[in-house]
Structure 1
Amino acid sequence: MKKLSIVVPCYNEEESVPLFYPAVEKVVKEMDVSIEYWFVNDGSEDNTLNELRKLHANHPQEVHYVSFSRNFGKESALYAGLQAATGDYVVDMDVDLQDPPEFLPQMYKLLQTGEWDCIGTRRVDRTGEAKIKSFLSDMFYKFINRISNTRIVPGARDYRMMTRQMVDAVLSMREYSRFSKGIFSWVGFRTKYLDYHNIERVAGESDWNTWKLFKYAFDGIADFSQAPLNIAVWIGSTSAFIAIIGFIAVIIRHALNPDAAVFGWASLVSIILLIGGLQLLCIGIIGRYIGKIFLQVKQRPIYIIQEKK
């Protein structure tokens, strides 16, 4: 009998954990597979860890958990869960039940055909979310797919079932700064997406605010595209070219009319401030890439485990 590992990152989800397990069990007990759960407590500040301990105590054979020493982020939690999973197939799910468990039998059946290596999910609408978040999300997918060679399916979720071969390929990518949506696409493999409409959280509130999503999006762009560096080069080259043209114009003007008065002090200061701002922008872009290199070469662990059952 094949084994299915269910990886569940958790951060401040004490209300969702007791609801998640029975909802998923109701579906998977009808499947002809053995099940193991790997919950990853990402340094939660509430009673999530206690709920996981209770769940493990009641189901010691099926339910396991990993608890971090602090909050390392969902990407680290997902990576830890994939490392812990021992199944022939591995699925990543959010504990808030926004990922419909009803898809699990269909995912497994499609993988069994051998035609696919991964069955992912794609959210076709964002009903219930703030319009600004939906707009920024749409713009992000359009932008990154325009500047990156790695295509990311718009609306794609981390909720996907993968073969062991694909999981091992994902785990072989040990970069410190991780953007799973890009990694899943970069490793390749044959992937089919199942569409579904947005589902509200079963309990609690999302920790992902607009600012965190913005930073996460920029990390994704920096991880899978050099376009920002090319933009910095273009800005610098354009500014230098304009400066040279202006310098030549000043020389010609002085040669033709040596007694011409000097005007435009305010506009000159404005131009200097503009150029200075563009330079700082370019330095900031380059600094982001250098920062990622700095973190990678230090070879710090992606996460630290404090407790594991």
Structure 2
Amino acid sequence: MNEKLSLILPCYNEQENVPLIYDALSQLLETLPYDYELLYINDGSSDKTQQEIEKVYQKDPEHVHFVNFSRNFGKESAIYAGLQNASGDYVGLMDVDFQDPPEMIPTMMKAIKEEGYDMVGARRTSRDGEPKIRSFFARLFYKIINKISETEIVDGARDFRIMTRQMVDALLELSEYNRFSKGMFSWVGFKTKYLPYKNRDRMAGTTSWSFSQLLKYSMDGIISFSEFPLTLLSWIGGLSFIASSIALLVIIFRAVFFGNPTSGWPSMIVVLLLIGSILTLSLGIIGKYVGKIFLEVKNRPIYIIKEKK
């Protein structure tokens, strides 16, 4: 009996790409010495994505399966659902828009089988075709998070990867509500290799990721894998206290020895505004952490299934 490869395909408003990725993957996987399944995860799409998934399921029920969410829960939830429902000895994850090259799959499997890797992923070496402002902030994010986090997150790494069953089981033990998969893939460890490739454009449709969503996702990653913002606030508070104490001693010294207690209301207003802004910033950062804790302790399900086949 052949070993089985499961490919998780998260979908959100990808009606054009669903049949295209099926044709490409089924032709490719038929040439490999593995049984396989294509597991579509419909993340509450508002177009005809689910109808297209059902068409390919009816066409090939032996190899195609799907999980249909009750609403849009986000890609992180879709990834987790895929990991939970994949049955293969090896589990892959890739987008359906062809920005993840299907032709890399045989090389990934070869690295796992012959070189002993537990995970083989894809890493973009260029961001051609991507808006420059987005590329700038993406690179900035990786620089920042790798400076402040103990978990290394590879610059340019895509979600596109193939993992052994052992690594998938380890990931499934991380059942937190606030998920950042790029960090989790690194945090669990295991022997990992990244294959470089040049950026590719989408085959059809438009991306559902706006700049603001990517920025929020980056902030979630920093909060999930670093306590540095809280440490920074402690340093800011300590330095502010020292500076305030020195300023107070200077004022007292001047008043005692020179008798020149000027009103100084402009400087007082500036100091108050500075302290107020620091406090507001501090409360905002602490609030983000408290908000994550709030969502975690509710213990709500990460996703809800409407239909599954």
Q: Under a length normalisation based on structure 2, what TM-score does the superposition of the two structures give?
A: 0.98
1:287 maps onto 2:287 in alignment: yes
| CA distance, structure 1, for counterparts of residue 222 and residue 261 of structure 2 | 49
Q: Which residue of 2 aligns with 1:268?
A: 268
Q: CA deviation at 1:225?
A: 0.7
Q: 1:51-90, aligned counterparts within 5 Å?
A: 51-90=52-91
Match of 1:241 in 2: 242
Show CA shifts across 1:42-65 (max 9, x none): 111111111111111111111111
Residues 178-231 of structure 1, C-alpha deviations (whole Å, 9 max, x = no match): 111100000000011110000000001111111111110111111111100011
Name which of structure 1's ranges 106-115 and 61-70 shifts more when overlaid on structure 2: 106-115
Pairwise CA distance, 1:114 = 5.3
- SS class of match (1:113): helix
Q: Does 1:277 align with 2:272?
A: no
Match in the other structure for 1:219: 220
Aligned AA for 2:251?
V
Q: Per-residue CA shift, 1:213-268, capped at 9, x if unaligned?
A: 1110111111111100011111111111111111111111111133x252431222
Match of 1:172 in 2: 173
1:303 alignment counterpart: 303
Hey, what does 1:118 align to over in structure 2? Answer: 119
Aligned residue identity for 1:158: D
How many residues are aligned here? Answer: 308
Which one-letter code corresponds to 2:126 in the other structure?
Answer: D
Q: Which residue of 1 aligns with 2:100?
A: 99
Whole-angstrom CA distance in 1 between matches of 2:250 and 2:80: 58
For the Cα contact (< 8 Å) 2:99–2:199, is it kept in 1?
A: yes
Aligned to 1:154: 155
Which residue does the alignment assign to 2:11? 10
In 2, Cα distance between equivalents of 1:4 and 1:136:
35
Task: Give % identity.
Answer: 53
State the distance in 2 between where 1:3 and 1:261 align: 82
In 1, Cα distance between equivalents of 2:239 and 2:225 = 25
The offset of 1:10, in angstroms, is 0.5
C-alpha distance in structure 2 between counterparts of 1:114 and 1:195, whole Å: 17
The CA deviation at 1:112 is 1.1
Mark the runs of 5 or more structure 2 residues left unpaired by the alignment: none
Q: Which runs of 5+ in 1 are unaligned?
A: none
Deviation digits for residues 116-146 of structure 1, max 9, x if unmatched? 1111110000000000111111111111111
- Quick one: which amino acid aligns to residue 117 of structure 2? W
Q: Tell me which amino acid in the other structure corresponds to 2:219.
A: F
Q: Which whole-Å CA distance do the structure 2 matches of 1:242 and 1:56 have between them?
A: 67
Query: In structure 1, the residue corresponding to 2:8 is in which secondary structure?
Result: strand
Counterpart residue type for residue 4 of structure 2: K
- Counterpart Cα distance in 1 of 2:211 and 2:13: 18
- Between the aligned partners of 1:29 and 1:254, the Cα distance in structure 2 is 87
CA offset digits 1:142-177 (Å, max 9, x no partner): 111111110011100110000000000011101111
Amino acid in the other structure paired with 2:231: N
* Root mean square deviation, CA, Å: 1.0
Partners in 1 of 2:16 and 2:94 — Cα distance? 16
Are the equivalent residues in 1 in contact too, given 2:18–2:52 (CA < 8 A)? yes
Matches of 2:46 and 2:278, distance apart in 1: 41
Q: How many Å separate the matches in 2 of 1:286 and 1:33?
A: 49
Do the aligned residues in 1 keep the contact of 2:255 with 2:261 (CA within 8 Å)?
no
Cα separation, 2, equivalents of 1:48 and 1:239:
54
**Counterpart contact for 2:127–2:199, Cα < 8 Å:** yes
**1:65-109 alpha-carbon deviations (Å, 9 max, x no partner):** 111111111000000011000000000010101100001111111
Q: Give the residue type in structure 2 aligned to 1:168.
A: D
Q: 1: distance between equivalents of 2:193 and 2:113?
A: 13
The AA in structure 2 aligned to 1:126 is R
Q: Is the 8 A contact 2:254 2:261 kept in 1?
A: no
Give, as a single letter, the amino acid of the residue that structure 1 aligns with 2:43. D
1:130 corresponds to 2:155: no
